[in-house]
């Protein structure tokens, strides 16, 4: 075999070629180990690792007991509405109706023609109206209440607190017990004992 028009039988040439190949391989291995060591020392942002070490960033509100209203929709026609037994139990004579009017009468007996309970109003417009049901408690967004409990931040950790849900509408739940003024309620979805950051 000839290399550059010289025979490869020359022992000095063979030795030089083998040495050069060996030096190139050793340099490549050293380079790879050095690069792996450098890459291993680099800190790459990993959101899961960061959440486990530092906590998950969450949206929170501070619980504050206050007076407010829960809106309950009823369909009124000619100052009459038909509601279910569950809805009837929430309505009282004198409750205000958003947009004007009040609840004048809540039937205790079932209307056999409709299978529902009759509610009479004064001054309410025809159509869907919201009855304003007064409530004193903590107004928490409905999505933060899960299975009768809310998540509260205590010392950087999420803790589940069972609450007494008085009433709710499509936006807010009125809670009367389980929370205290100043409790930090977590609105984001987290699991119990998970580290959190406000």
Query: Could you read off the pLDDT of 125-159 as tens digits, one per residue?
Result: 999 999 999 999 999 999 999 999 999 999 999 99
The mean of the pLDDT values for the chain is: 89
Q: Is the pLDDT of residue 5 over 80?
A: no
Nearest to 98 by CA among 77, 125, 117, 79: 125
CA atoms lying within 13 Å on the CB side of residue 53: 6
Give the tens place of pLDDT for each residue, 58-71: 999 999 999 999 99
The residues spanned by each domain of the chain are: 2-41, 57-197
Q: Is the pLDDT of residue 6 over 70?
A: no
pLDDT on residue 30: 92
CA 192, CA 153: separation in Å to the nearest integer? 10
Q: Give residue 4's pLDDT.
A: 57
Q: Stretch 44-58: mean pLDDT, rounded?
A: 82
At residue 54, the pLDDT reads 84
Radius of gyration of the chain (CA): 36
CA gap 191, 109 in Å, rounded: 45
17 pLDDT tier (thresholds 50, 70, 90): confident
- pLDDT at residue 185, rounded to an integer: 95
Any idea which residue has 């803790």 for tokens? Answer: 159
- Does the structure show a pLDDT above 60 at 108? yes
The answer to whether the beta carbons of residues 187 and 143 sit under 8 Å apart is yes
């Amino acid at each position: 075999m000839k290399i550059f028009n010289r025979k490869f039988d020359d022992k000095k040439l063979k030795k030089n070629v083998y040495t050069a190949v060996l030096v190139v391989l050793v340099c490549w291995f050293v380079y790879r180990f050095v690069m792996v060591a450098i890459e291993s020392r680099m800190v790459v942002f990993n959101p899961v690792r960061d959440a486990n070490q530092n906590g998950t960033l969450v949206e929170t509100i501070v619980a504050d007991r206050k007076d407010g209203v829960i809106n309950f929709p009823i369909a009124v026609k000619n100052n009459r509405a038909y509601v279910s037994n569950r809805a009837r139990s929430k309505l009282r004579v004198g409750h205000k109706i958003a947009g004007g009017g009040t609840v004048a009468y809540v039937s205790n007996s079932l209307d056999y023609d409709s299978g529902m309970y009759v509610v009479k109003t004064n001054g309410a417009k025809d159509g869907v109206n919201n009855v304003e049901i007064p409530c004193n408690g903590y107004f928490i967004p409905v999505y933060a209440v899960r299975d009768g409990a809310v998540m509260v931040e205590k010392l950087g950790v999420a803790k589940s607190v069972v609450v007494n849900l008085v009433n709710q509408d499509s936006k807010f739940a009125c809670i009367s017990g389980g929370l205290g003024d100043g409790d930090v309620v977590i609105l984001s979805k987290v699991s119990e004992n998970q580290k959190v950051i406000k």
